[in-house]
Amino acid sequence: ADIGAIADVSGCVSGSRLSVACVVTNPEDMAVTPDRQFIIVSEFGGIGPLNDIGPGSLALVDAQTKARVPLPIIYSDNTWGDATCEKNVDSPFGPHGLDLVKRADGRYQLGVINHMDHESVEMFELVAVAKEPTELQQTKESWEGAAEITPRNKWGLIWRGCVAAPKVNYINDLSLLVDGSFFVSHMYPHEFSTNDFLRVALTKEATGYVLHWDRQNGFSQVNGTEGAQPNGIAYDEARSLLYVAFN
Q: What is the pTM (predicted TM-score) of this model?
A: 0.86
Q: What is the mean pLDDT of the chain?
A: 87
pLDDT at 154: 87
- Run of H or E including 235: strand 233-236
Question: Which residues 6+ apart lie within 8 Å of 184 measured at CB?
Answer: 113, 121, 165, 171, 172, 173, 174, 175, 210, 211, 212, 213, 233
Confidence band for 9, pLDDT divided at 50, 70 and 90: confident
> Which regions of 33-94 does DSSP assign to beta strands (E)?
38-43, 57-62, 68-69, 73-75
Q: Quick one: which of 139, 138, 141, 162 has its CA closest to 79? A: 162
Once rounded to an integer, what is the mean pLDDT over residues 16-44?
A: 92
Give residue 246's identity as a one-letter amino acid code: F
Local structure of 135: helix, strand or coil: helix
Task: Lowest mean pLDDT of 162-171, 172-181, 187-196, 235-244, name the range.
Answer: 187-196
Q: Which residue has the higher pLDDT, 209 or 201?
A: 209
pLDDT at 133: 45
Q: Quick one: which of 235, 102, 96, 228 has its CA closest to 172? A: 96
Q: Is the peptide bond before 70 cis (omega within 30 degrees of 0)?
A: no
Residue-wise pLDDT for 147-180, tens only, equals 445 456 689 999 999 999 999 999 999 999 999 9
- DSSP β-ladder status, 95-102 and 108-114: antiparallel
Q: Quick one: which of 152, 154, 96 has its CA closest to 122? A: 96
pLDDT at 220 over 70: yes
How far are the Cα atoms of 7, 9, 12, 65 from residue 19, in angstroms, in the given order? 10, 9, 9, 11
Q: What is the DSSP string of 161-192?
A: EEEEPPTT--EEEEEE-TTS-EEEEE-S-TT-
Residue-wise pLDDT for 91-129, tens only, equals 999 999 999 999 999 999 999 999 988 899 999 999 998
Q: Which residue has the higher pLDDT, 9 or 176?
A: 176
Give the whole-number percent of the chain exceeding pLDDT 90.
Answer: 63
Phi and psi at 133, nearest 5°, equal -55, -35
Q: Which residue has the higher pLDDT, 10 or 88?
A: 88
pLDDT at 209: 96
Confidence band for 144, pLDDT divided at 50, 70 and 90: very low
Asked if 110 contacts 39 with a C-beta cutoff of 8 angstroms, the reply is: no
Once rounded to an integer, what is the mean pLDDT over residues 213-235?
A: 95
Q: Quick one: which of 176, 172, 145, 148 has its CA closest to 161? A: 176
Confidence band for 137, pLDDT divided at 50, 70 and 90: very low
pLDDT at 152: 61
Residue-wise pLDDT for 32-69, tens only, equals 999 999 999 999 887 766 667 778 999 999 999 999 99
pLDDT at 3: 63
Give the whole-number percent of the chain exceeding pLDDT 70.
Answer: 87
